[in-house]
Each structure stands twice: as structure tokens, then as C-alpha cells.
Amino acid sequence: MITNVVTGILIPFVGTAAGAACVFFTKHELKMGVQQALLGFAGGVMAAASVWSLILPAIEQSASMGRLSFLPAAAGFWGGILFLMLLDHIIPRLNISDRMPEESTGRLSKTAMLVLAVTLHNIPEGMAVGAVYAGYLSDSADITAGVAFALAMGIGIQNFPEGAIISMPLHAEKKSRCRAFAGGVLSGAVEPIAAVITVFLAGSIIPAMPYMLSFAAGAMIYVVVEELIPEMNEGKHSNTGAVMFAAGFTIMMTLDVALG
């Protein structure tokens, strides 16, 4: 069980590192079609996981509240949404298609702001992985190892282009490939840290589990709606993103029902 948890927590970080490694193999950014497919698939996985892996287990854990069992899930969900809205207000919103955040400041270079944006936006994704694995460890949230693994894979896929858009601009600014790769890898290091902290907090406060699961769901839905869906539709009109979103949603739903 512990091996499954450690592996799952590290998957999103591996996705970021794999994307950052693109700096060793190509001088150009990922093709738009590839980005759309990756972001669409990851968005579908994260949307389905938010419902089946996080919100529904949160409601089931509050079944003792009867008709009000939705309250912890609703409160946690809005907590996740508002947390991400606050985060977006404090830092620039990540824009994968432009490889730059929405705003910049004279104190930091645009690339430094991009690294900061990616790093801070990885925190709630790490919390989501931590929350679902905390539910798996608690044996009280109807979350299986397969479902938790599928969620971690979805976030890992989404992190792949993020790692690439960190390392490639760094290399373009005359950084060595190794230093550019290290910058991309470090931007994802916050995810396993946030995941481990969430697991320990949830494990010590079991009654808070419904709130933590739904908080993670709210954070992920915000990322999907605010970032992934717009970015998978960038550029020339294509159905690639929508088709891959549907595929990711279907696969995650199927895994959750079949494995859960």
C-alpha cells in the first residue's frame, strides 16, 4: 500500500520532469496539436476524477448527516475554487500557449514570473493527489489504488507541457540545457511536497476528509475550466482537444466505476 502511495505521489513530478527533458531533444516548443491532445485528455481525466474520485466519496463519508450530506462537499468545493481564485489574483495566471504569464513585473524577468506561476499553480494539484491517496489510506472513502493512480496519471500528463514551457524559455535565455532542465524539474518539486503534507494532515484529522476531498475537487475543476479548456482550444480550430477531453473523461469514469 505504501509503495502505491509513494509511486502515485511521484507521478505528477515525473510528468513535469519528462516535459522539462524536452530541452535535450528539440529546439522547438511542442506542436499545438500535441498540446491540445495532452491538455484535453488531462482535463477530461481531472474533471471525471473530481466527481467520481473526490466529490462522491466526500458525500458518502458524510452520509450520517442525511439530506445535508452535501454540505461538507459543497463547502470544501467552494473552498478549493476560492483558493485558486485568490492564487490567481496574487500571481499571474499561467498561459501555456503564449509561454508567458498574463502579467509581469519589473522586478522579475518574464521567465522568472513564468517559473513562479507554474510552481505555485502546482500546489493545489499536489494537494489533490495527496487528498485522494489520503482517502485510499483511510479505507473510508471508497477510493481504490487504481482510481488514485489514474488521477495521478492525469495530472502527470497535464504537467508534461508545463515542464517543457519552463525549460525551453530558460534555454532560449542562454542557460545551459542542464540548468534549463533543472529549472523545469524544480518547478514541479512542490507537488510531491504538497501531496505528502496533505496526506499527513488528512490522516491525523479523519473528520476533515470530506472537506479535503471536495477542496481538491474544486481546485481541479477551477484549473480545468480556467486553464486547460481555453488552452486546448487555442490556435487554429480543431476538435482534437474536445475529443481527447471526452476520451480522458470516459476512461477515468470507467476506471473509477470498474476499479471502485
The string of pLDDT tens digits covering residues 61-107 is: 888 899 999 999 999 999 999 988 887 777 655 554 454 445 544 44
pLDDT at 260: 59
Tally Cβ neighbours within 10 Å of residue 28. 7
pLDDT at 82: 93
pTM (2 d.p.): 0.76
Please list, in sequence order, all residues whose beta carbon lies within 8 angstroms of the beta carbon of residue 43, skipping any fewer than 6 positions away: 158, 224, 228, 229, 232, 241, 245, 248
pLDDT at 99: 47
Per-residue CA distances from 229 to 108, 121, 217, 235 (Å):
28, 16, 16, 13
31: DSSP letter: P
* CA atoms of 133 and 173, how far apart (whole Å): 39
- What does pLDDT average to in each consecutive run of 10 residues of the chain (260 residues)? 88 92 78 81 85 87 90 94 83 52 51 69 83 80 76 82 79 83 89 90 74 87 86 79 91 76
pLDDT at 219: 86
